[in-house]
């Protein structure tokens, strides 16, 4: 996988710890869904669809960002964030959802 793309994934996941604004506190489920969707969209953009590779990369990122995912819980998220991410079809749209 190209390094620049992995840095993009890492930056978006790290952003989970600084979510703020109006809305409601993020639950563990919210944070997991956000994380999973970011990884899914990034890997899809990289045309990484082989199940074993997707599972391995997801596991690696989850391990690397356990602290960030824990930090996400309780942060205020906009009520439309999860829906926006679910509706996104490309990784580039993630940035719009996170704004």
Q: Give the integer Cα–Cα distance in Å for 81 and 17.
A: 14
- pLDDT category at 1 given cuts 50, 70, 90 is very low
Phi, psi at residue 88, to the nearest 5°? -65, 145
**Residue 24 burial (C-beta neighbours within 10 Å; 0-12, 13-18, 19+):** exposed
Q: Give the integer Cα–Cα distance in Å for 96 and 82.
A: 12
pLDDT the model gives residue 24: 86
pLDDT the model gives residue 95: 80
Q: pTM score, two decimals?
A: 0.77
pLDDT tens-digit map of 54-66: 899 889 888 888 8
Report the percentage of the chain scoring pLDDT > 70: 80
């Amino acid at each position: 996988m190209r390094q620049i793309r992995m840095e993009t994934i890492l930056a978006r996941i790290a952003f989970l710890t600084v979510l703020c604004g109006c809305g409601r506190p993020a639950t563990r489920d919210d944070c997991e869904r956000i994380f999973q969707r970011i990884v899914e969209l990034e890997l899809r953009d990289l045309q990484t669809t082989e199940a074993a590779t997707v599972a391995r990369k997801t596991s690696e990122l989850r391990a690397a960002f356990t602290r960030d995912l824990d930090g996400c819980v309780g942060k205020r998220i906009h009520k439309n964030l999860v829906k926006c991410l679910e509706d996104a079809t490309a990784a580039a749209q993630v940035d719009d959802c996170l704004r």
